[in-house]
């Protein structure tokens, strides 16, 4: 499996609706994941899920953002061609004028190799 290591100025953004359907992805996200924007919009965000990611991480992500808080964490994603890449993600609940969270925005940057090693070790202990 080929690892794609992010460049230090890569910045991957995507936005979902309340159910995790992709509404938007920026060029860096599309380029690194290996999809065109049209292949992503309307699909569930688990399209880039990597099988090594524990369910517990996404349970924590969803519980955190649904309760109106910001989630940060390390995510290993798969690319369309079967490779993978690690990101450090910050996921924000986005509020409308009624102060209800309607959509979610994830901003991702390059993690250090030490951060990746630590996340990998932690995720091996989770399901």
Ligand X SMILES: Cc1cc2nc3c(=O)[nH]c(=O)nc-3n(C[C@H](O)[C@H](O)[C@H](O)COP(=O)(O)O)c2cc1C
Binding site for ligand X (CB under 6 A): 14, 16, 20, 45-46, 48-49, 53, 55, 58, 61, 65, 75, 77, 91, 104-106
Smallest distance, Å, CB 114 to ligand X? 21
Enter the DSSP assignment of 87. E
Whichever of 41 and 105 has its CB closer to ligand X, that residue is: 105
User: CA dihedral defined by 115, 117, 120, 124, rounded to 10 degrees?
Assistant: -130
Q: How far is the CB of 98 from ligand X (least distance, A)?
A: 19
Phi and psi angles of residue 31, each rounded to the nearest 5 degrees, phi first: -65, -45
Nearer to ligand X, 45 or 110 (CB): 45
Q: In sequence order, what DSSP letters do the residues of 3-45 get, joined into one string? A: B-PPPTT--EEEEEETTSBEEEE-HHHHHHHT--HHHHTTSBG
Residue written as tokens 């080929």?
A: 2
Q: How far is the CB of 104 from ligand X (least distance, A)?
A: 4
Give whichever of 14 and 79 is closer to ligand X, judged by the CB atom: 14
Instruction: Provide the token pair at 22.
Output: 């992709």
Tell me the closest approach of the beta carbon of residue 35 to ligand X, in angstroms: 12
């Amino acid at each position: 499996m080929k690892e794609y290591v992010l460049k230090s100025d890569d910045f991957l953004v995507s936005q979902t609706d309340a159910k995790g359907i992709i509404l938007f992805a920026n060029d860096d996200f599309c380029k690194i994941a290996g999809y065109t924007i049209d292949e992503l919009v309307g699909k569930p965000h688990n399209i880039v899920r990597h099988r090594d990611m524990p369910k517990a991480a996404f349970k924590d992500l969803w519980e955190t953002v649904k309760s109106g808080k910001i989630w940060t964490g390390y995510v290993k994603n798969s690319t369309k061609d079967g490779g993978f890449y690690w990101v450090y993600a910050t996921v924000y609940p986005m509020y409308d004028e009624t102060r209800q969270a309607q959509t979610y925005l994830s901003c991702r940057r390059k993690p250090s190799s030490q951060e990746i090693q630590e996340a990998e070790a932690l995720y091996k202990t989770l399901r």
